[in-house]
Amino acid sequence: MAKLILSLEGSVIREVPLDKERITIGRKPQNDIQIENLAVSGEHARVMTILNDSFLEDLGSTNGTLVNGNPVKKYILQNNDVIEIGKYKLKYIAAAPAAQTAARTPAEDMDKTMILRAPAGARTPAAPAGPAAAAAPAAAAGAPPKPAAAPSLAAIRILNGPSAGRDLELTKNLTTLGKPGVQVAVITRRPQGYFIAHVEGKQFPVVNGKTLDVQAHPLNDHDVIELAGVKMGFFLKTK
Amino acid sequence: MVNLSSILEIATATHPGMVRSHNEDSIAADAEMGLAVLADGMGGYNAGEVASGIAVELILTEMKKALAGKAPDELNGKEMERLLSEHAAKANGTIYQAAQSQPQYSGMGTTLVIALWHDNRLSVGHIGDSRLYRLRGDALEQITRDHSLLQEQIDSGMISKEQARYAPNKNLVTRAVGIDPEVEAEVHTYAVQPGDIYLLCSDGLPDMVTDEEIELTLSSLKANLPLAAEQLVQQANDNGGRDNISVILVRVLKDFPARSGWLKKLKSWF
């Protein structure tokens, strides 16, 4: 099922499944998605969903509706489009094709590489289609691909040395720490949280007094990282 | 034959992704020969693996033979390009024959990208939508142009690059190995600089991870090539991993002119 992910300044507020034909957005409480903000009109916009397609319509709002930065009145939503209403953003995630049509043949799969003018034989692989069709959807249907929903924001605070007290926000999916050529580690932001891994140098990073091995190590709130003689705290920012 | 094992550092990773049960990609890399090959197979049941496997195996072994039999001064850019074309054609013939003669392989094919380093240069041959990128400094550049319906639509101005990211039919290639009796690889040669990092990948990477993210990952993690390869695959999987993902990373550690060192020194005296 398609959905909208409502966020404000990078923090996800909630996910709204497009489970009915009409979803309204506005400041008034009767809206399906109520946004209490003066920049938002009482009845601001609506999203109509018919089968697999969703249409966005601005309801004559005072401050307008943007999609990917452009003002729109009526618009057919595409996967990953970002709707902006005031300071709020709504990301449109289309229904995962793998989830809807689990029983289709491999030839209809739109992510699988295919030659444009394959001979007819390629479309209906005679006998082998059975096991392939049975095996592939088993993996596909169970877990429809989720877009990377970023975890909550986090930061690194330097705890000792001349820069003690300095904060470094982890705004990117990858943040490297340390001195190139001496010791470098990387913090990766993944849907399931933050991880630290060794990049270069003879010394491996130490987390809460334990030296890491080559494996990436999950980070928890208030973990203490030691890297090239510098102690750093890892903090999750609460929304 | 020139040995490039002290010149090229190579790291690879391949993964079926989060949705598919089969990995139809095949990869191989040989630092000594200065060769990297990646193929993304297609076809029913396991025919995709068979096609990409034949292409990679055949090119690796045949190229080894071809290079071993030649003196370094014979191996100029033109000759290397010819070798790439010839071996892509051979792979095509072999896969096409197999597909014609055995019903379970009917319609199988594969994309192909081959990179061959020689004499401070890189010759690249490709067919389909598997790609070669280059990171020079901290800037990533796509070197190959996909042979795909989407690329044709971009070229003709029908859609923008941004729209292309979300377009359906992303998976339709206009050229592939093993589908027709003959196919021509697109072959080019580029100058190489020490410090360059080359990335060969199947479409499962760029379909899931933007070029900006690939650039950030490679430039942040270039000190640790195996970690960078693993990280790229992980990012594609974190974003959904809808297709098989394969990457070959090759770092050029230093200059590798074909002429032997003393001759060059002698020449520079005069």
To the nearest whole Å, the CA of A174 is away from the closest chain B CA by 7
Q: What is the mean pLDDT of residues B30-43?
A: 95
CB contact under 8 A, B239 and A148: yes
User: CA–CA distance from B166 to each of A94, B54, B56, B180 (Å)?
Assistant: 10, 32, 30, 30
Whether the CB of B234 is below 8 Å from some CB of chain A: the reply is: yes
To the nearest whole Å, the CA of A98 is away from the closest chain B CA by 8
Smallest Cβ–Cβ distance between B107 and the set A121, A127, A140 belongs to: A121
* Band of pLDDT at residue B213, cut at 50, 70 and 90: very high
The pLDDT of residue A100 is: 41
The pLDDT of residue A175 is: 93
Helix, coil or strand: residue B21: coil
Tell me, rounded to whole angstroms, the distance of Cα B240 from its chain centroid: 23
What confidence tens digit (pLDDT) does each residue in A16-61 have? 889 888 899 999 989 999 988 888 999 999 998 877 788 899 999 9
Q: Which residues of A touch B23 (CB under 8 A)?
A: none
Q: Which residues of A touch B174 (CB under 8 A)?
A: 115-116
CB contact under 8 A, A118 and B240: no
**Contact criterion met (CB below 8 Å) for A177 and A227:** yes
Q: Is the pTM of this model over 0.80?
A: no
Q: Give the single-character DSSP code of A202.
A: S
Q: How many residues does chain A have?
A: 239
CB-based contacts of B47: which residues, under 8 Å, 6+ apart?
A125, A128, B41, B99, B104, B105, B106, B107, B108
CB contact under 8 A, B20 and A139: yes
Domains of chain B, each with CATH number or no CATH: 8-268 (3.60.40.10)
Which residue ranges in chain A fall short of pLDDT 50?
A: 98-108, 118-148
Whether the CB of B233 is below 8 Å from some CB of chain A: the reply is: no
What confidence tens digit (pLDDT) does each residue in B54-82 have? 999 999 999 999 998 887 777 788 999 99
Whether the CB of B153 is below 8 Å from some CB of chain A: the reply is: no
CB contact under 8 A, B221 and A132: no
The pLDDT of residue B261 is: 52
